[in-house]
Amino acid sequence: MDQYDRLRPLGRGAFGVVHLGRCRQTRRLVVLKSIPMPEEDTKQALNEVQVLRLLSHPNIIEYVSSHVQEQSLVIVMEYAPGGTLRDYLLSLQQQTMEEEQVMHFFSQMLIAVQHIHSLNILHRDLKSENILLDRERQVIKIGDFGISKILATKTSASSVVGTPCYLSPELCEGRPYNRKSDVWALGCLLYEMATLRRTFEAATLAALVLKILRGSYAPLPAQLSAGLRQLVTALLSLDQTRRPSVTQAIAHPAVAPFACRLFSDIGMIPWHASTRPLSMSVSQTLAGGRAGPLGAVWAARRPSSPALPPPPPPQDDTLWVLTAELTLRQLPAPPPGVGRRLAAAARGSVTAVCVTSGGQAAVWWLADAGPPLTVERPGGVSFVQAASGGATVALLTQRGIVLTAEAAPAAGTLSAPRIVQSLLGHEVSQVSCGADHTLVLTAAGAVFAWGGNADGQLGSGGRRPATTPHPLPLPSDTVAFRVRAAAGCSLVVTADGRVFGCGLNAAGRLGSGEPGGRPGERRLRAVQLPAPEPVTDVVACASRTALLTAGGALVWLGGQPGAAPARSPLPAAVTAVSGTESAVLVLCADGSLHAVSETSPRQPVRLELPGAGEPRLGDGGLLLLSQ
């Protein structure tokens, strides 16, 4: 490895840390991927090398060499300076891609995956973060084969791996799968490029799996061609036997013209189309021909059509907060430089915070109606999620790094975000803030907590606060997938639908405990659920906890110690909940919006949506309306 200089970190792959490097002899920029190699992980690490050595294709990241260094396997690979497809889509700021460019990218993906499948290899983690671009952003290259599988039997593989948003139905059900799982992921990628949004998204893993199993995704825009829409439908068939193979997808009428042009367009000699009118004797073949992936049409000049009026500018997303009177109050728009599309939002007792699709963040003071502050982005990081507690604002980056900032309401200032150093060894997937403590959930399903502990909300067994994160102990058979920090308590929802809680058990909101709300639960324990149906999300109010079940019911615990659970009568299945200390905002499958006070859980109040647009819920009783 002496022949390479490490320049800067680029991020993390499926199993390793990635750096940008330079060859000292050739000055070529390369990617250095370091994979830790404890003895038990050696086989997994060597799998990537085995896969990369088999692959040689212009649309697949090139394997250069591999070396063992300090108990790590270092793989040297081609560097793609155009960044990831995901970053490119986010940079478009909802302006959409031209359909021709979508199909130009997608045909390259299909041809690359066809080559992979021809070698009896599954990629198993196709996603926009693993699709890389060249400097001109015209050539795509598939990377990160960290969890690829060589099909020794040439039939199927059964271990469940991959990114949740792109998992196929058979993986969600634990059934064996084959190449058609990669085909499903390709369908998700095509949808994502055409709409600039994930095909399947949900607030919880259980809700996401339910959407995937039902094939429930928003319809494609009507302005897209019928061929593209039909192709997406075919690729996302719930029955894997009905999905086309990659070869069949390349032959689809929506793809074939672009796939054929790739062989002459990629790497062709630069040229310029003539600006002179062509002779009217030009052949019909030439008149119908094309050149260039987004290129000029060689045809006889015809009178130009009247120019169409420009489309109206896109409207800003709006952010609304649930008040104590069960009404909605609009917050001022984020500063112009932050972005108009809101990706996530959360509210605490002092501030509200939002993250935009461009990875920036803004903070509002709830005590006044003034404009929000733009949050600094150290090193230009991209934020993907945020949480707000008392004076603390927590931000999660695209790389799974947590930063916190402190609000000073009297001065109207927010400190510069600082990285939580002790969590750098963990890839964090979710963050949640209570009044004075913070919880984070890692991609591995572990939970960490820090902050105030007067009511035992850190689960440490005592009341001593913690200034740095420490693990929140979970039973050995438990994997967490959702955390909720509330005033004086912590709640954890597990992957199998159980709920664990610790801290202030006011009025029996944790299902049992001492009367009067004293902290009878200083360690995490199972919350006794009223029914065997799995829970997908929870909201803790001051004296009750609302449970969202996998079947879409809203069930309440507490109100007073020993009280029977209460169920809120709602017109349709509940798809999302978001709560304050006194009420819960509820979004139903029929698009209706309701507010349910913890004092009257059986009397939901229907709220009129304050404008046209797609409703989504943030944390802390926030409504986001996407125009």
Q: C-alpha distances in angstroms, 7 versus 17, 20, 23, 187, 399? A: 13, 5, 11, 36, 18
Q: Kindly provide the b/e burial profile for residues 574-598, where b requires at least 16 CB atoms within 10 angstroms of the residue's own CB.
A: bbbbbbbbbbbbbbbeeebbbbbbb
Sheet of strand 328-330, all strands in order from the earlier edge strand to the far edge: 328-330, 318-322, 622-626, 614-618
* DSSP one-letter code for 462: S
End-to-end CA distance of the chain: 52
The amino acid at residue 267 is G
Give the separation between CA 538 and CA 493, rounded to whole angstroms: 8
- 15: helix, strand or coil: coil
Q: Kindly provide the b/e burial profile for residues 119-149, where b requires at least 16 CB atoms within 10 angstroms of the residue's own CB.
A: eebbbbbbbbbbbbbeeebbbbbbbbbbbbb
Strands 351-356 and 361-365: antiparallel
* Residue 127 is labelled as binding a ligand: no
Listed in order, strand segments (DSSP E) in 292-419 are 318-322, 328-330, 342-347, 351-356, 361-365, 373-374, 383-388, 392-397, 402-408, 413-414, 418-419
Give the separation between CA 429 and CA 439, rounded to whole angstroms: 11
List all residues 6 or more positions away from 379 whose beta carbon is below 8 Å from its beta carbon.
none
Hey, what's the torsion of the CAs at 376, 380, 382, 385, to 10 degrees? -20
- 303: helix, strand or coil: coil
Q: What is the 3-state secondary structure (H, E, C) of 90-130?
A: HHCCCCCCCHHHHHHHHHHHHHHHHHHHHCCEECCCCCHHH
Give the separation between CA 32 and CA 26, rounded to whole angstroms: 16
Q: Which residue numbers are catalytic?
A: 125
Tokens coding 29: 């920029």
Write out the binding residues for ATP.
33
